[in-house]
Amino acid sequence: MSRELIDLAIERLREDFPNKSKSWVRRALVRFMKNTVKEYGENVWVVRGLPELGDKYPTYVVRFKDGRYYCSCFESSWGLRRKSEVCTHIAAVILYRNYRKLDSDVYASVINIECVDYYLEIPSELKGKVKVVKSVKVVDSSDRLNPRHRVTYVIYANEPMEVRAKLVCDGDVRELSLKLSRTRRYMIELLVR
């Protein structure tokens, strides 16, 4: 497992659950690092119990249904209290899924520009198939009303393809042909963070 990917996977977990304690995150991480999560089927995972974390059963089943997670520990004697919470079995599954997603292949192209005004247009028929994320940093704000930005666009999709795009930078219009080539999902996260 890669440290950088684990850090990103934890970052996503923290963003999704900003009110959870450090110990909650730590316990999820222990479960994940001990390789206790196994995918069992679509939206079903089995998490091996860890006695050192207070687990009383050898395994727990986590399901994802109608937009939320359920864990078999909800059905235990503590279930009533736990039902309203997200247990660390679920948190471990989310970490596992975050990691797998970051580790997966995507096809991407990167554009770096520096402009005051900028715009990138992707043909409308590709919307939904091709995604665009950007990161914007101010590099020169001496003209307060018109600061200059460094913009990184990442255009990506689940399959290799060539995408025609229109890039506007301070009135300069360029027609681009972008070849999306294979990379790992986490590279995109690193580029636009």
Query: Which segment (28-36, 63-71, 169-177, 179-187) binds Zn ion by CB under 5 A?
Result: 63-71
Contact between 46 and Zn ion by CB under 5 A: the answer reads no
Radius of gyration of the chain (CA): 21
Rounded to 5 degrees, φ, ψ at 166 are: -115, 125
Q: Which is nearer to Zn ion, 27 or 89 (CB)?
A: 89
Count the residues of the shown chain that bind Zn ion, applying the rule CB under 5 A.
4
The residue from 8, 28, 87, 94 that contacts Zn ion (CB under 5 A) is: 87
> Segment near Zn ion (CB under 5 A), from 68-76, 93-101, 107-115, 126-134?
68-76
Q: Per rule CB under 5 A, is residue 71 in the interface with Zn ion? A: yes
Tell me the closest approach of the beta carbon of residue 46 to Zn ion, in angstroms. Answer: 12
Buried b (16+ CB within 10 A) or exposed e, 53-89: bebeeeebbbbbeeeebbbbbbeeeeeeeeeeebbbb
* Nearer CB in complex with Zn ion: 98/109: 98
Of residues 12, 27, 31, 89, which one binds Zn ion by CB under 5 A? Answer: 89
What is the DSSP-derived secondary structure letter of residue 144?
Answer: T
Query: Between 44 and 132, whose beta carbon lies closer to Zn ion?
Result: 44
- The values of phi and psi at residue 106, to 5°, are -140, 170
Cβ proximity of 111 and 135 under 8 Å: no
Residue 152 near residue 95 (C-beta atoms within 8 A): no
Stretch that binds Zn ion, among 31-39, 87-95, 155-163, 170-178 (CB under 5 A): 87-95
Site map 108..127 versus Zn ion, x via CB under 5 A: --------------------
By CB under 5 A, residue 73 contacts Zn ion = yes
Angle between helices 88-102 and 3-16 (to 10 degrees): 130
Q: Does 12 bind Zn ion (CB under 5 A)?
A: no
37 binds Zn ion (CB under 5 A): no
User: What three-state secondary structure class fits 27?
Assistant: helix
Token pair 């948190």 in the structure block, residue: 91
Residues that bind Zn ion (CB under 5 A): 71, 73, 87, 89
